[in-house]
Amino acid sequence: MTISQTSTTSSSALAIHGGVPVRPRPVSMTTHLGPAARLRIAGVLERHEPLSEYYGGPWARRFEDEFARYHGADRHAVAVNSGTSALHVSLAAAGIGPGDEVIVPALAFVAAATAVVQLGAVPVICDAEPHSLTMDVRAAEALVTDRTRAILPVHLWGHPADLASLRALCDARGLVLVEDACQAPGAPVGAARTGTFGDFAAYSFANRKHIHCGDGGMVLCRTAEAARTVRSMANFGKGPGWDDYHTLGYNYRMVEVSALIGLEGLADLDDEIARRQHAASLYRQGLRDTDLAPVPAPAWGDSVYFKMPVLLPERHVARRQFVIDAIHAENVSSRIPHRPLFAVPWLAEYLRARGRYRGPEDCRVAASAHARLFEVETGPHLPAEEAARSVEAVRKVWRQLDGQAP
């Protein structure tokens, strides 16, 4: 039985074909504010306190302190206005400049490359390893040249890259390690967490992230000196004086309302991670008897599942957009992952002009996997019963796609 032959009057009929959706309406993925955060925000407004200050206002500074403490006593944090800003200022503080090369993964959000290009440097695209689809460390090592200054792994979907190996590679070759942890705050890597291996780590607090406050970001630094450099650069390159400009800088500071919301998200972070990991476990259990393959977490760490990435079998690759549309019709969020960096047109042109373009033939694992990938929701704030509905929606679409009886 094909999808087009399925009766829309059947209880198993897909919502996209007129059936009853698994979930009556989508789950809200916007910021959830508790009473304490609401009172704090109201207090700031009622007292007419500044909503933003150079070098960070008192709430932004508190958010920084608590975020750093979450990651360990030897870490230093600087709050900024977005994850992309966090990446950019991290690379700038590391001294990346025109002509330098930074190794980035093929499977990543475009900001990982944008931040490099903004500094006049060259992102060198690295293939994925075939298990968890994170950066292939051996491939990265083969890409190191005398122009390489940094490696920038991206913990896509909440899957941590092989940070111990990347740290060892950077130490051996004198390179800076900048972690893009925007989708993976708090992800366990052995006894440590993402963000604690890099010289710098960038975080995002945009909508749907584990901590979300509309928009915002954080830079986690290994040293107090690096944090001072980041703080200055995020505030126009200013020093301690009002008219004291030390270096080229940017306007990246976090506003107080974002910090207040972020503090509540940080307090809930471990519970949010547990909710997303539970959702992931339900997907793995619920899809076990299908040919859909959730991308496994890496052997060296645990994922915190910003999304659950799933691989279609080859025979259904041509129907990927239908699968996504059908899952959406069941009121469950689904989408194609961000395109590989080599498929971003402006970036490909930029790299070809510099003789450093690496396309699908150079990144075969990433190219092959991306053609089969789709993502499904794991949060934020997804209750266990709703996570179970998410899984049932995917199973329902699969049964119809593969011509199975319900």
CATH architecture classification, 35-267: 3-Layer(aba) Sandwich (3.40)
Question: What confidence tier does 404 reach under pLDDT thresholds 50, 70, 90?
Answer: low
Question: What confidence tier does 350 reach under pLDDT thresholds 50, 70, 90?
Answer: very high
DSSP-based three-state secondary structure for 346: helix
- Mean local confidence (pLDDT), 388-401: 97
User: Range(s) for CATH 3.90.1150.10 in the chain?
Assistant: 269-401
pLDDT in tens, 50-86: 899 989 999 999 999 999 999 987 899 999 999 999 9
Please, are residues 132 and 159 in contact by the beta-carbon 8 Å criterion? yes
- Mean local confidence (pLDDT), 264-272: 97
- Mean local confidence (pLDDT), 150-174: 98
Question: What confidence tier does 37 reach under pLDDT thresholds 50, 70, 90?
Answer: confident
Which of these ranges, 33-42, 56-65, 163-172, 223-232, has the smallest mean pLDDT? 33-42
- For every residue of 264-287, DSSP letters joined together read HHHHTHHHHHHHHHHHHHHHHHHT
Which of these ranges, 42-46, 252-256, 363-367, 393-397, has the smallest mean pLDDT? 42-46
Whether residue 170 is predicted with pLDDT greater than 80 in this model: the reply is yes
Instruction: Output the pLDDT for position 28.
Output: 85
Instruction: Output the pLDDT for position 405.
Output: 41
Question: What confidence tier does 11 reach under pLDDT thresholds 50, 70, 90?
Answer: low
Please, are residues 213 and 82 in contact by the beta-carbon 8 Å criterion? no
Percentage of the chain with pLDDT > 90?
87
Reported as type and span, the H/E element at residue 371 is none
Instruction: Output the pLDDT for position 334.
Output: 97
CATH number of this structure's domain 269-401: 3.90.1150.10
Q: How far is the CA of 363 from the CAs of 178, 369, 392, in angstroms? A: 21, 10, 34
Burial zone of 183 (CB within 10 Å; 0-12 exposed, 13-18 middle, 19+ buried): buried
Instruction: Output the pLDDT for position 34.
Output: 86
Instruction: Output the pLDDT for position 1.
Output: 30
Whether residue 355 is predicted with pLDDT greater than 70 in this model: the reply is yes
Question: What confidence tier does 9 reach under pLDDT thresholds 50, 70, 90?
Answer: very low
pLDDT in tens, 319-329: 999 999 999 99
pLDDT in tens, 302-319: 999 999 999 999 999 999
Q: What is the mean pLDDT of the chain?
A: 94
Instruction: Output the pLDDT for position 30.
Output: 76
DSSP-based three-state secondary structure for 245: strand
Whether residue 300 is predicted with pLDDT greater than 50 in this model: the reply is yes
Instruction: Output the pLDDT for position 2.
Output: 34
Question: What confidence tier does 234 reach under pLDDT thresholds 50, 70, 90?
Answer: very high
Which of these ranges, 15-19, 46-50, 170-174, 257-261, has the smallest mean pLDDT? 46-50
Which of these ranges, 235-244, 330-339, 365-374, has the smallest mean pLDDT? 235-244
| Residue 315: HSE in the Cβ half-sphere, 13 Å Cα cutoff | 6
User: Range(s) for CATH 3.40.640.10 in the chain?
Assistant: 35-267
Whether residue 403 is predicted with pLDDT greater than 90 in this model: the reply is no
Higher-pLDDT residue of 86 and 4 is 86
Rg (CA), the chain: 22
First-last CA distance in the chain: 11
Alpha-helical (H) ranges within 54-135 are 58-71, 83-93, 111-118
- Mean local confidence (pLDDT), 343-350: 98
